[in-house]
Structure 1
Amino acid sequence: MMILIKNGEVYSPEYLGEKDLFICGNKIEYIGDKIQLQKELPIKIIDAANKLVFPGFIDSHVHILGGGGEGGFKTRTPEISYKEIVRSGVTTVVGCLGTDGITRDMKGLLAKAKALEEEGISTYIYTGSYKIPPKALMNSIEEDIMLIDKIIGVGEVALSDHRGSQPPIEKLIELASEARRAGVLSNKAGIINIHLGDGKEKLDHLKRTVSETEIPITQFIPTHINRNEELFKEGIEYARSGGRIDLTTSTTTKFLMEGEVKCSRGLKRLLQSNVPIENISFSSDAQGSLPMFNELGEFIGNGVGSISSLFKEVKDAILEENIDIETAIKVITSNPASSLKLKGKGRIEEGKDGDIVILDKETLEITNVIAMGNIAI
């Protein structure tokens, strides 16, 4: 398919001004001023006058198979659909398992990722789940990362959480070294996506691993860093020291009332605290369960993460927190693309994948989505 997007204000995520984009096949072939093509060519023309043109969004933490079960089998959450994803402007997802690595397994995760790819978006997955040692698809997580194209790292591994496997630091170090070695050998990210709970340990295992070994701080991406105020403050220092942190956009009114930091406000605070924007990302935790527990750790209710929350929080950062557009959208475009080594993603550049989101300039409502060079919306 050939697509010509005309007259839009393009953010690469850096502001490029009013440009035309020519997409051929699944790539951005040319960016220029007032592109003129032969009329007889079978080209779909999209007039983006008075609209903004962004790179397709990357959601780096999605329970594409569904998740949950913390309140019993009836609380299992449903799989995500292709329509839910593209309506939210997301053109690339990274799927993961969570608390339940038994009834949701790696075979099912890989199959779901392939199904979504067949429908038209780009997909990757993490190997493993909450527990250490993780249950790999093949004989080890090293084999998974090196030999299965879609597997780019390990996760989500739970730390500082009563649902985790309470691993000694030696086990985390061993896992990180395996993931790093596999990543180096296969030219993949090889990162470990770390689920952080409400426990007192917070980031201690990660900080000790970095200080006591040769494993770099960029080997980990701790997520849910905005879960509570204490963890968020520790995350600020972690990111200022070179670590990458990920804020979770799916939430509930109860969580926010109990002290969870809203992502849009959290982004503003991080920037005010001199955290480099490149060290910050957002992910939705879509289809993950949002369980509520009392002070005894007893389950009292459940919500479901939503992929639509991803851009909603970026939009709030722009419209309510007055963060400039090119800074705000980096947390769901170029930043996750860089940290996860997704080479064709996250930027509007010639030769990059044809993943584009077009929005109304005034309201920032999504009007068009192009994924891998095909019109999704």
Structure 2
Amino acid sequence: MLTLIQGADLYAPTAQGKMDVLLAGSKVIDIQPEIKLDGNTLVKVIDAREHILAPGFVDSLVHITGGGGEAGFASRTPEMELTDATLNGITTVVGALGTDSSSRTLSNLIAKAKGLKEQGLNVFCHTGSYHLPAKTLTGSITDDLMYIEEFIGVGEVAISDHRSSQPTALQLAQLAAQAKVAGMLSGKKGTVSIHVGPQETYLSLLHEVSKCSDINLSAFYPTHMNRNKGLLDAGIDFCRGGGHIDFTASTTEYDLAHGEYAAAQALAYCLAQGVDPNRLTISSDGHASLPIFDDTLNLVGLEVGKEASLHQAFVQAVQEFDVAIEHALMAITTNPSQVLGLKKGTIKVGSDADLVLLDKQTLAPIHVWSNGLHMVENSNAIVKGLFE
């Protein structure tokens, strides 16, 4: 079966104008202003004249197995379901552990990733967690990245946070070196995902690593950079030094009221400051534990991250903060793909058929394809997880 998407406003993610896009199997095989097929060809035609066709969203940080709750065992968050991603236009997720690497394990992470892949989603993972020395599945970072298909990097390693293991510059430099070499040997990027907490040390440790070693800032991928204006400004300096930064879409009303920027607002702020739009990304932090701490670091509340926040941040960026559609799309498609070394996030002849068809007015996902598999049709999930 071929699928012909007709007359969409194509963003690949840059604007390409009105185009027809032809899918066959798991690939995009043709893009033309008008594609005509033989009348005898078996083809499913999608009228997309009132829609925007974009790459499937790439969510670079999702706790697919749930997170360990900071309020005890009963507060451990649930696992992600397939439609948590697909109904929100997400076709690629990157899973990671966080604070809890005891009751949440790497073996469970990989098993969950493989299960989601069997259902049609693109899934990658990081080895390690918040703490150093890094926990691994095989006994070494090198072997994890070389021999386990889903592992593409390390993280999310915590800095500037009272929940971190308080790593030194030497420890981080050694970790990044291991990840880089493992990536070279396995054909992967070997990026180190960095959880940045609210402490005013910000990204100083990463700058120290770059000064005392051969490790560049680009080896690190700091997330949660929209916690406050001080951290956001530090992120702008980090980008100008050659790095990339990530904003977290999942948040709480408490945090927003106490200085956190919404991800869409942070994206707009950085663009207004002249930051290269290729260096900015947004992730959902879906199914993460979102603890709320007061000024003395006492836990006063706990919420759960949602994958839906990624799409919501995209819409908010475009409709409330006047971010260009292509810049908002880059932050959730090509940019995270390039940082992590994934061949995702673009629409071109020969690319994987990871696509989302958006209503032109509301930007709501109407159709979603992952590797050519039609996952969402007319805003309804037609492929669901086994237990959904």
User: Per the shorter chain, which TM-score range?
Assistant: over 0.9
- For 1:268-288, what per-residue CA distance to the aligned partner results, in whole angstroms no more than 9, with x for missing partners? 110111111111100000000
Query: What letter is aligned with 1:367?
Result: I
Hey, what's the Cα distance between the residues in 1 that align with 2:115 and 2:91?
14
- What CA deviation, in whole Å up to 9, does each residue of 1:81-133 have, x standing for no partner? 00111001000000000000011101000000011111111000000111011
Who is 1:106 aligned against?
Answer: 106
Q: What residue number does 2:33 align with?
A: 33
Query: Residues of 2 paired with 1:228 and 1:8: CA distance?
Result: 38
Residues in 1 aligned to 2:73 and 2:85: alpha-carbon distance in whole angstroms: 25
Local SS of the residue matching 1:4: strand
Gaps spanning 5+ residues in structure 1: where? none
The answer for unaligned runs of 5 or more in structure 2 is 377-388
CA distance in 2, matches of 1:65, 1:42: 40
Distance 2:187 2:277 in 1: 24
SS in 1 for 2:143: helix
Matched, 1:7 2:23: no
- 8 Å CA contact retained: 2:64, 2:286: yes
Deviations 1:254-304 (A, max 9, x none): 110000011111111101111111111000000001001223322221000
CA distance in structure 2 between the aligned counterparts of 1:225 and 1:326, rounded to whole angstroms? 21
Aligned partners of 1:39, 1:73: CA distance in 2, in Å? 61
Q: Deviations over 1:194-225 (max 9, x none)?
A: 00011232101101111221111110000001
Q: Show the counterpart of 2:257.
A: 257
d(CA) in 2 for partners of 1:237 and 1:216?
A: 14
Residue 126 (str. 1) matches residue 126 (str. 2): yes
One-letter amino acid matched to 2:177: S
TM-score by length of 2: 0.95
- Show the counterpart of 1:308: 308
The residue that corresponds to 1:341 in the other structure is 341
Measured after TM superposition, the shift of residue 155 of structure 1 is 0.6
Question: Alpha-carbon deviations, 1:281-333, whole Å to 9, x = none?
Answer: 00000000100122332222100001111011111111111111111110001
Report what 2:240 is aligned to: 240
Give 2:280's aligned residue: 280
Once the two structures are superposed, the pairs formed by residues 1-377 of structure 1 within 5 Å of their partners are 1-343=1-343, 345-377=344-376
Contact 1:240 1:274 in 2 (8 A): no
Secondary structure of the residue aligned to 2:329 is helix
In the alignment, is the contact (CA less than 8 A) between 2:217 and 2:238 conserved in 1? no
- Residues of 1 paired with 2:217 and 2:169: CA distance? 15
Q: Size of the alignment, in residue pairs?
A: 376
- Structure 1 counterpart of 2:127, which letter? T
Displacement of 1:69 after TM fit?
A: 1.8
Cα distance, 1:38 vs. partner? 2.5
Once the two structures are aligned, what percentage of the paired residues are identical? 42
Give secondary structure in 2 for the equivalent of 1:332.
coil
Q: Is the 2:68–2:104 Cα contact (8 Å) retained in structure 1?
A: no
Partner-residue secondary structure (3-state), 1:314: helix
> Equivalents in 2 of 1:265, 1:298: separation in Å?
28
Normalised to the residue count of structure 1, the TM-score between the two structures is: 0.98
Cα distance in 2 for residues equivalent to 1:86 and 1:353: 16
